[in-house]
């Protein structure tokens, strides 16, 4: 990796950086502004890939991650997390699938139900603040998914593949991609939005020309300077200590 943005984790701490600033320096100096959640499965039956209920469940889960006790990771835990992620992704629909937790086996369903119970108080608090019962409903949807996995999008994908696409995932994906494209193209674009996009595109081209006109050093020299430890704002002594570690 040349820069920290090439670290493709499942979730990353982020903040908006200043021009030419290293992301790690921005995080150290001004803290986490937002988190970037990655590797979410998209729902192929929804044109934009995710619905409001799933987003609310994600909100509740992230708040749980924020307020729950979080001891420092151990090498054993990191290995278990990596293995659990692989198992859930590759065999998550397998009845009775077992995951590792602190050296012991626990079923994905049991662990999932434990997590859902921890989410309920947060969902209730969000509903109290915003009104309604949408967050509670999102958590109940997760309970239903654990109890009846045949209702999950993954099960619907398999059913559609078998019924309509001769069990070909490629055929299923192509058909739904074309359907999604058509659905989104049917959504009208307001004239004001179109004008704003045109303005932004023109400004982007002008900004690029300005940046290129102001270049004052060869790209390789810039790359070396940008990736140097000094860009992280560390003193020379700190750099040496980090290198030794």
How far apart (Å, rounded) are the C-alpha atoms in residues 80 and 101? 7
Q: What does the pLDDT average to over 62-72?
A: 93
Q: H-type helices in 69-188, by residue range?
A: 75-91, 108-130, 134-147, 153-164, 169-185
Domain ranges of the chain: 1-39, 45-151, 192-245
Q: Would you state the pLDDT for residue 245?
A: 45
This prediction has a pTM of: 0.81
Phi, psi of 60 (to 5 degrees): -65, -45
Q: What does the pLDDT average to over 125-140?
A: 97
Residue 243 has pLDDT above 60, yes or no: no
């Amino acid at each position: 990796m040349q820069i920290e943005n090439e670290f493709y984790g499942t979730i990353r701490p982020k903040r908006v950086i200043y021009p030419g600033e290293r992301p790690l320096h921005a995080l150290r100096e001004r803290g986490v502004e937002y988190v970037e959640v990655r590797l979410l499965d998209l729902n192929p039956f929804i044109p934009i890939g995710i619905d409001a209920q799933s987003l609310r469940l994600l909100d509740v889960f992230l708040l749980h991650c924020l307020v729950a006790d979080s001891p420092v990771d151990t090498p054993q835990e990191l290995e278990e997390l990596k293995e659990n992620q692989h198992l859930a992704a590759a065999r998550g629909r397998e009845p009775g699938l077992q995951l590792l937790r602190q050296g012991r086996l626990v079923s994905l369903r049991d662990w999932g139900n434990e997590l859902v119970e921890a989410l309920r108080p947060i969902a209730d608090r969000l509903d109290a603040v915003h009104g309604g019962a949408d967050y509670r409903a999102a958590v109940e949807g997760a309970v239903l998914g654990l109890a009846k996995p045949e209702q999950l999008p993954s099960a619907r994908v398999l059913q559609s593949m078998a019924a309509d696409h001769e069990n070909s995932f490629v055929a299923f994906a192509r058909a739904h991609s074309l359907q999604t494209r058509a659905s989104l193209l049917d959504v009208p674009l307001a004239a004001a939005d179109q004008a704003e996009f045109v303005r932004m595109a023109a400004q982007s081209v002008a900004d690029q020309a300005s940046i290129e006109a102001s270049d004052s050093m060869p790209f390789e020299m810039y790359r070396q300077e940008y990736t140097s430890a000094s860009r992280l704002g560390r003193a020379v002594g700190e750099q040496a200590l980090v290198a030794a570690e």
